Amino acid sequence: MSAQAGWPASEPVTLAVEGLHVSFRTPDGIVRAVRGASFEVQAGATLGIVGESGSGKSVSMLTLLGLTSAAEVSGTALFRGRDLLAMSEDELRRVRGAQISMIFQDPLTSLHPHYRIGRQIAEAVRAHEKISRAAARSQAVELLGTVGIPRASQRADDYPHQFSGGMRQRAMIAMALALRPALIIADEPTTALDATVEVQILQLLQQVQREYQTALIMITHDLGVIAGMADTVTVMYAGRPVEIADRRTIYRSPRHPYTRGLLGSVPGARGAIKQRLTPIPGQPPSLIRLPRGCPFHPRCPLAMQHCREEEPPLLEVGAPGQRSACWRAAELDEGEHGLLFVPQQMSGEVSDVREGGR
Amino acid sequence: MSEGSPAPSGRPELLRLTDVTKYFPVGRSLVQPRGAATIRAVDGISLTVEPGQTLGIVGETGCGKSTLARCIARLYPLTSGQVVFDGLDITAMSRRDLRPVRRDLQMVFQDPFSSLNGRRRVGSIIAEPLIVHKAVPRTGLRARVQQLMEMVGLNPEHYNRFPAEFSGGQRQRIGIARALAINPKLLICDEPVSALDVSIQAQIINLLADLQAELHVGYVFIAHDLAVVEHVSDQVAVMYLGKIVETGRAEAIYQAPRHHYTAALLAAASVPDPDRAELRQAAALSGELPSPADPPSGCRFRTRCPAAQQLCSEQEPPLASTNGNADHQVACHFPLDRTEAMR
């Protein structure tokens, strides 16, 4: 890939994914969860991947780590020059946790309820490094301190249920940092948290990233979460990236109707008291029976005949480094996001839901 | 039917809560080895809702907002206080006496997956309140259910499908159709959109607004997210550790918040805007939520408040009118003044 916007060209590329396809065989048919995802992230940089349920954002990440065993996978994923998708299970195990860490949405299900927090972090260290229990324990305490747990040496002896939601997520970040990974993948790390706690956790992620020069991939369904921290944003829909651009460009002059629709759906524009939102009508398509042509066309106000026949490729348009998979991307100049989607009356939504039903 | 009852303020009232409390005893257990304590989940809440209007209740995890919703619907008995709904004191009503009241007082829940019975067809789920309350003769059931499905944006031909055949947003529409089946006067919505994707959230928020305009139903709309409530609320109440810390017209709360907690919540709200997102991160609230079993003395927010002083730990600030504006009330010894609050 050429000309990545917003990144200094000198930083080494930590992860470069090219043409990733993931599908699952199910009794209902083949679920085409990821259909050609390409992206890269450099050391010290943050890539935001945005999409709704079923857009393929989480499946892509799990596949890179070898956690989708039943899937049919193709493509390449070069992590510091080595292809993750071609690695044996043994090789992958040495990468997972040590060089690539993952932080999940719900820390309560990722932490074992019967073991003390400090011990769980120490185990993660000892799984990859030959050090004594005592040394691992003191490392765990130090890490808990780093992520802002007060009285870390005492709190290390607590069980997960004794931590609040925000503190559990801090503990997960401590565990993710334990082996100083080159890449952290955070899958909706703040979705289960309140806004005031979310801000604290996002700050912490940025702080550790600066300190360790870690590459960070932030997966989220909420464009608001990464608005302050992503260097580059990839928007996914129906298993494919539909728009890629640097942060400011994505929010200020998006070139895909879906990105614009997402921006208009987010509540919270100032002066919005009792104002109608401008939702995207209908719902995401079934990944078993994708619509012909552009998968977004049934929900798109700009759809024309060509969109129903041929799926648009991801092409450069607009700002440097910006790419959009839309036949009409060039017409989408800067302007009000809301103008594209109008607040629908209920009768309009009825017909859309009908189309979307199974 | 009467349009609410006359109130001291002279405005019609659909719902009035007076000093409502709900305490949960926590016995000796593995989790609480120290023995009995009391969780003061809802601690002295007074509020009113006018007919056809929306009261938004906002607060973070553990502030007691869902407990409050269940107290209003009388799903929990109160510890003390009074709930008057449509002129009737329902505080101590028996289950049998409550049944006719529930015709007018319905709930929509957060999780559209667990709140619908997966083994029943959608038509029968929506018809249930009509049958329980004998609202429609049997022969008219199907027509009424299909009319409701159409009203909430579902295809009436999907009458015989099971909940599993619908997406999350469509299931929430089913829950709304069920709640509205018998023309209630008040709908209590407990986080109705927080489990949905962003593009679908917006559809449901608009749907609720349209239904209110059409049916003149009052809403108590509970959410952890100030931004969601902004699009539906006439009045807003902000809760912290079981208490209302600020309440008023939505315009006042959003444009000139006076409580430091309200201001912190507004500053922390996520926005899809790079410049404001950077400001957001500068305004992070420090510290953790104290335990509702052992709240701080004086003002409950003082442990995290940037303006806390000695007085705040000694005296609990009452919820009182500000600037002579009876509508806008704040519980703070040192409230933000208008100019500070304008951002």
Tell me what the mean pLDDT of segment A246-268 comes to: 89
Complex ipTM = 0.81
| Closest by Cα among A252, A320, A191, A159 to B270 | A191
DSSP for residue A6: T
Which residues of B, range 1-20, sit inside 8 Å of A by Cβ?
Answer: none
Q: Are residues A188 and A260 in the same domain?
A: no
For B230, the closest of A194, A227, A268 (CB atoms) is A268
CATH at A85: 3.40.50.300
Contacts B286 to A, Cβ<8 Å:
200
Q: Which two tokens stand for residue A66?
A: 């070898």
CB contact under 8 A, A228 and B281: yes
A249 in a domain, yes or no? no
The pLDDT of residue B276 is 83
Residue A5 counted as domain residue = no
Please give the Cα distance from A210 to A250 (Å, whole number): 23
Check whether residue A190 and residue A118 sit in a common domain. yes
Residue A241 counted as domain residue: no
CA nearest to B197 within chain A: A52
- Please state the domain count of chain A: 2
pLDDT recorded at residue B160? 92
- The first and second tokens of residue A212, run together, are 């360790």
Render pLDDT for A295-316 as a digit per residue (tens, 0 to 9). Answer: 999 999 999 999 999 999 999 9
B208 at A interface, C-beta within 8 A: no
Contact in structure between A277 and A347 (CB atoms under 8 Å): no
Smallest Cβ–Cβ distance between A196 and the set B31, B60, B173 belongs to B60
How far CA B75 is from CA of A226, A278, B68, B71, B217, in Å, comes to 39, 35, 10, 6, 21
CA–CA min distance A303, chain B (Å): 18
Q: Is the pLDDT of residue A87 over 90?
A: yes
What pLDDT is recorded for position B340? 55
CA A223 to chain centre: 11
Query: Are A41 and A175 contained in the same domain?
Result: yes
- Output the pLDDT for position A214: 94
Q: Which of B217, B59, B228, B171 is nearest to A277 (CA)?
A: B228
Percent of chain A surpassing pLDDT 90: 56
Strand partners, A307: none
Q: Which residues contact A150 (CB under 8 A, 6 or more apart)?
A: none
Residues B144, B150 contacting (CB under 8 angstroms): no
pLDDT (tens place) for every residue of chain B, 343 residues total: 444 445 555 678 999 999 999 998 876 666 556 556 788 999 999 999 999 999 999 998 889 999 999 999 999 999 999 999 999 999 999 999 999 999 999 999 888 888 899 999 999 999 999 999 888 898 999 999 999 999 999 999 999 999 988 888 899 999 999 999 999 999 999 999 888 888 888 889 999 999 999 999 999 999 988 888 888 899 999 999 999 999 999 988 998 899 999 999 988 888 888 888 877 766 677 777 888 888 899 999 999 998 999 999 999 999 998 777 778 999 999 999 865 544 4
Are A195 and B251 in contact (CB < 8 Å)?
no
**Chain B nearest CA to A284, separation (Å):** 9
Q: Which residues contact A165 (CB under 8 A, 6 or more apart)?
A: A107, A108, A192, A193, A194, A197, B61
Q: Are residues A27 and A92 in the same domain?
A: yes
At residue A82, the pLDDT reads 94
* Measured distance CA(B276)–CA(B230) in Å, rounded: 18
Q: Are A64 and A212 within one domain?
A: yes
For residues A177 and A304, membership in a common domain is answered with no
Tell me the two tokens of residue B144: 């009424």
In a domain, A292, yes or no: yes
Closest to B127 measured CA to CA, from B64, B79, B197, B182:
B182
pLDDT score, position A132 = 94
Query: How, if at all, do strands A72-79 and A13-26 pair?
Result: antiparallel
Give the Cα-Cα-Cα angle B315, B320, B322 (nearest 5 degrees). 120
Same domain, A186 and A283: no
A33-42, A141-150, B31-40: which is most confident: A33-42
Instruction: Classify burial at A87, counting beta carbons within 10 Å of its beta carbon; exposed 0-12, middle 13-18, buried 19 or more.
Output: middle
Q: Tell me the DSSP string of B112-146.
A: TTTSS-TTS-HHHHHHHHHHHTT-S-GGGHHHHHH
Q: B241 and B63 in contact (C-beta within 8 Å)?
A: yes
Scanning chain B, the segments in alpha helix (DSSP H) are 65-72, 95-102, 122-132, 141-151, 168-180, 198-215, 226-230, 250-255, 260-268, 274-282, 310-314, 338-341
Residue A355 in this model has a pLDDT that exceeds 50 = no
A336 pLDDT above the threshold of 60: no
The answer to whether B256 and B342 have CB atoms below 8 angstroms apart is yes
| pLDDT at site A244 | 96
* CATH class (in words) of the domain with range B15-104+184-341: alpha beta
Half-sphere exposure of B309 (CA within 13 A, CB side): 7
The secondary element (H helix, E strand) that includes residue B55 is strand B54-58
Q: Is residue A244 part of a domain?
A: no
The separation between the first and the last C-alpha atoms of chain A, rounded to the nearest angstrom, is: 38
What residue spans in chain B does CATH classification 3.40.50.300 cover?
15-104+184-341
Query: A259 and A145: one domain?
Result: no
Mean pLDDT lowest among A85-94, A142-151, B32-41: B32-41
Tokens representing B124 are 């029968």
In angstroms and rounded to an integer, the radius of gyration of the C-alpha atoms of chain A is: 21
Lowest-confidence region among A2-11, A174-183, B154-163, B324-333: A2-11
Residues A316 and A174 both lie in one domain: no
Range of the domain at A284: 254-268+276-356
Give the pLDDT band (50/70/90) at residue A278: confident
What's residue B121's pLDDT? 94
Interatomic CA distance for residues B4 and B18, integer angstroms: 16
- The mean predicted confidence, pLDDT, of chain A is 86
Residues A44 and A109 in one domain: yes
Give CA angle at A235 (A232, A240), nearest 5°: 120
Segment holding A354, helix H or strand E: helix A346-356
Per-residue pLDDT at B91: 94
Separation of CA B19 from chain center:
17
- A196, A89: one domain: yes
Give the minimum alpha-carbon distance from B288 to chain A in angstroms, rounded to a whole number.
8
Residue A76, strand partner residues = A18
Locus of tokens 């609990």: B316
Task: Name the band, by pLDDT with cuts 50, 70 and 90, for residue A231.
Answer: very high
Q: Which of B173, B194, B273, B281 to mutate to test the interface with A (most CBs of A within 10 A)?
A: B273
**Token pair 């029976």 is at which residue?**
A289
The pLDDT value recorded for residue A286 is 87
What is the C-alpha separation between A311 and A107, in angstroms, rounded? 38
